[in-house]
Amino acid sequence: MVPENGDARSAIRGWLQENVTGGRDVPNDEALIDNGVMTSLQTVELVVFLEDTFGIVVEDEEFDEENFGSVEAIARLVESKAA
């Protein structure tokens, strides 16, 4: 099932809970990379998840800290692509 765009935040948070934080819910504005929440390899796995779930393609140059710094930033990237 493809979630609606409005669900991007909860889908990302669900993925983080399951694969990264061991059950802890991550606020939308928490710094994911500066605080070492996610490793670069986990970020690669997240991109695969986003591409599969939302049917989007993340370009090499977009795959940076600005777009992947927080749940909010990632959701905006997804929304801009799915729009």
Contact residues for another protein, defined by CB under 8 A: 20-24, 33-36, 38-44, 60-65, 67-68
Please name the residue ranges forming H helices in the chain. 8-19, 40-54, 65-68, 71-82
Query: How far apart (Å, rounded) are the C-alpha atoms in residues 71 and 78?
Result: 11
- Give whichever of 10 and 21 is closer to another protein, judged by the CB atom: 21
Please, what is the minimum distance in Å from the beta carbon of residue 24 to another protein? 7
Please, what is the minimum distance in Å from the beta carbon of residue 37 to another protein? 8
Query: How far apart (Å, rounded) are the C-alpha atoms in residues 6 and 29?
Result: 16
- Give whichever of 2 and 31 is closer to another protein, judged by the CB atom: 31
